[in-house]
């Protein structure tokens, strides 16, 4: 049974400030952009992949977690980025910013090519230690998100689902968004998998940042 952890963010309370974890993505530096398997870094240190549909808010999430404005770049034309971009963290681990998927305006042959590359990386990369899946909280998990999880979860590695753009939802809608994602996970993956944490997130309002940092820090500490 997949354990779905719904993790509330402790926000800016005095208690939260007192125990605020290190910022694992702060200080991340660009390493390489790979458009093919031969260009990937040699497998060595653990890697954490950020994945999501085009326009889900993946670049904004990476940037706010890194305390930077433009560490990760969002293409002016959604779905055009065709490379896996690697950043090295202070811990020595790598973050892999995967190309966005699912944008219909991209030519089918081109889109299939880089989605095949993404799929191969997620399912076969020996040093890939964990996955951050970025989804728009207003829409929940889409078929391509579920397909990606289906290729990753059987490996037993952890997943953090960031339900982004939560600042656009009211309190009732936020609860419904998390409950909906949790139901989708339970229906699609009733067995065979690691813990999946679902965190409401907003790069604009900094909602969920502390919780996401805590989870990612647990992945990279001791590297």
Look up the domain containing 168 and give its range: 4-220
Position 88 scores a pLDDT of 94
pLDDT < 70 positions in the chain:
1-21, 69-81, 103-114, 192-194, 222-223
- Please state the pTM of the whole predicted model: 0.85
Q: Are strands 196-200 and 4-6 parallel, antiparallel or unpaired?
A: parallel
How many CB atoms are located within 10 Å of the residue 116 CB? 10
Per-residue CA distances from 155 to 48, 104, 128 (Å): 14, 29, 10
Residue 80: per-residue pLDDT: 45
**Residue 194: its pLDDT value, please?**
57
What 3-state DSSP class applies to 164? strand
Burial class (CB in 10 A: 0-12, 13-18, 19+), 205: middle
89-98 confidence digits (pLDDT tens) = 999 999 999 9
The predicted pLDDT at position 188 comes to 92
Report the pLDDT value the prediction gives residue 181, as an integer from 0 to 100: 95
Q: What is the CATH number of the domain that holds 32?
A: 3.40.50.300
Distances (CA, A) of 162 to 93, 99, 109, 111: 20, 16, 29, 24
d(CA 48, CA 61): 14
Q: For the chain, what is the domain count? A: 1
């Amino acid at each position: 049974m997949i354990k779905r952890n719904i993790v509330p963010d402790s926000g800016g309370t005095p208690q939260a400030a007192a125990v605020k974890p290190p910022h694992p993505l702060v200080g991340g530096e660009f390493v390489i952009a790979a458009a093919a398997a031969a260009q990937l870094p040699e497998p060595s240190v653990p890697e954490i992949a950020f994945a999501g549909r085009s326009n889900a808010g993946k670049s904004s999430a990476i940037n706010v977690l890194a305390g930077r404005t433009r560490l990760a770049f969002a293409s002016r034309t959604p779905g055009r980025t065709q490379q896996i971009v690697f950043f090295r963290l202070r811990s020595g681990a790598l973050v892999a910013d995967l190309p966005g998927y699912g944008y219909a305006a991209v030519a089918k042959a081109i889109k299939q090519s880089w989605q095949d590359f993404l799929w191969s990386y997620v399912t076969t990369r020996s040093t890939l230690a964990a996955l951050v899946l970025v989804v728009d909280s207003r829409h929940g998990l889409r078929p391509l998100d579920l397909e990606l999880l289906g290729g990753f979860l059987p490996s037993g590695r952890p997943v953090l689902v960031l339900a982004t753009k939560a600042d656009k939802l009211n309190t009732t809608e936020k609860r419904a968004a998390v409950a909906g994602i949790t139901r989708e996970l339970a229906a699609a993956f009733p067995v065979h998998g690691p813990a999946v944490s679902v965190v409401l997130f907003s790069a604009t309002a900094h909602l969920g940042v502390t919780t996401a940092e805590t989870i990612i820090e647990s992945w990279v500490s001791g590297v």
